[in-house]
Amino acid sequence: MTDGPYAALEARFRRIAIIDGAQAVLHWDRAVMMPPGGADARTEQLAVLSGLSHELIVEPAIGDLLDRVEADRDRLGPWQAANLREMRRLWRHANALSQDLVEALARAASTCELNWRQARAADDFASVLPSLENLIGLVREKAQAKATALDVPPYEALLDAYDPGRRRAEIDRLFAELRSFLPSILSAVLARQSRRSAPMPFDGPLPIEAQRRLGEALMTAVGFDTEFGRLDVSHHPFTGGVPDDVRITTRYKDDDFSESVMAVLHETGHALYERGLPAAWRWQPVGESRGMTIHESQSLLIEMQACRGRQFSEFALPIIKSSFGKSGPAWTLENLLAHTQRVEPGLIRVEADEVTYPFHVMLRYDLETALLQGDLRPRDLPGAWRDGMMKLLGIAVPDDRDGCMQDIHWFHGDIGYFPTYTLGALAAAQLFAAAVAAVPDIPERIRRGDFRPLLGWLREHVHGVGCLSSSDDLLERATGTGLGTEAFRRHVERRYLS
């Protein structure tokens, strides 16, 4: 079906997607380049664009068109049918919210995020609390409205926007399985590490410009095309933009290059997914990424599964040494691996190793569900955070900067996102294992800096299918099983205990 009501729907959703893409670039600019004095203007720009996008999707004509096409769905091809399904899902989400609430949320999120940047730098939670309380109140209003429209509990209504179809019962089951075996694995890994010498520090200087060039060299080797994207600096590493203009960011420390490089490789995984989405379905819902669990699986597959492994380290080490003009005992393969595969409970989620990372996510999941339900007041977040970190990882939190203010998500109204990080890690382990089983020379090709076999498999089984199927169906077809913990358990045991 290429004309009539279906074609009219495609035209309308194309306009909506282009507006949303413009918002994505404006969000990137706000985090990377916008001067402080532009904050008020940017808040209004984003609020108006959010409102305009919402106005377009809730027009009565779209509901009528959806009904007409669904009544004649047998004429649709598989991609068109999937596109129609995704259109209806987005329409249901949008029609749950009033125009006033959409614009109020956009303004509140922008204001709170900008306040958070100043508050975190000053370690002053009290200064961001009023805007956070206002934002959380609006998020609760949004969650309740969507819960009524989608006939699911409020948290699942928010979760559905990040990971369509996911339910808390599944998250709780998977997290319970992780809690059952990760503590013993962590203890065994720490005991094993204690019998070895600590990694030698990389001797400086490690100039920021050299780190930038190193990151660009490695992201290009992995497959990033700088004709369609760029690397910049932000407070919090992220990927933004649109598939044909992908913006990734990192941050630097002048005494440690590994954090910036691994952030670059992580975000490159996101960027490769965006670039690999089906070009024939640009600006259509079916051509978008299949939710954040799959998106996070792609960043973690590149960073954790591939680039923290021995094969990639063998390839990268000469480039690293050349970038800084270094040699000597600290600049050996074994010392590099001792750094990149170091397991150590720490304060910061984005710096966490893959064994302790799920504990960080489970803490945030527990706290954000309590915030949404009203069981935890925003003003009590710092204390709850400290208690949770001590319980899960045995770590005392010295301040709010590296405690409850370390992540941007809640201060931008993003509740329901955090579980997808660990769900993505589980999916990444399954997908990488399936890719290697299908193309056994992938590890050896990575050793030579050739990511084409891995990227080709991902293009076929993940990137190129967009939203043609659900996340669970995608995983079933690519790996032979639904989302589970077994592949992740085997991976961490093999890497850290064998």
From CA 190, how far away is CA 342, in angstroms rounded?
9
Tokens read off for 270 = 């996101």
From CA 130, how far away is CA 114, in angstroms rounded?
13
- Rg over alpha carbons for the chain, rounded to the nearest Å, is 23
From CA 363, how far away is CA 243, in angstroms rounded?
32
From CA 185, how far away is CA 188, in angstroms rounded?
5
Which one from 86, 113, 156, 267 is the annotated catalytic residue?
Answer: 267
From CA 48, how far away is CA 44, in angstroms rounded?
6
444 is catalytic: no
Contact 426, 170 (CB under 8 A): no
Closest CA to 178 of 449, 433, 452, 421: 421
CB neighbours of 251 closer than 8 A, spacing ≥ 6? Answer: 233, 234, 235, 236, 237, 259, 260, 263
Neighbours of 352 (CB within 10 A): 19
SS (H, E, C) the chain: CCCHHHHHHHHHHHHHHHHHHHHHHHHHHHHHCCCHHHHHHHHHHHHHHHHHHHHHHCCHHHHHHHHHHHHCHHHCCHHHHHHHHHHHHHHHHHHCCCHHHHHHHHHHHHHHHHHHHHHHHHCCHHHHHHHHHHHHHHHHHHHHHHHHHHCCCHHHHHHHHHCCCCCHHHHHHHHHHHHHHHHHHHHHHHHHHHCCCCCCCCCCCCCHHHHHHHHHHHHHHHCCCHHHEEEEECCCCCEEEECCEEEEEECCECCECHHHHHHHHHHHHHHHHHHHCCHHHCCCHHHCCCHHHHHHHHHHHHHHHHCCCHHHHHHHHHHHHHHHCCCCHHHCHHHHHHHHCCCCCCCCHHHCCCCCHHHHHHHHHHHHHHHHHCCCCHHHHHHHHHHHHHHHHCCCCCCCCCCCCCCCCHHHCCCCCCHHHHHHHHHHHHHHHHHHHHCCCHHHHHHCCCCHHHHHHHHHHCHHHCCCCCHHHHHHHHHCCCCCCHHHHHHHHHHHHC
β-strand partners of 232: 249
Residues assigned a catalytic role: 267
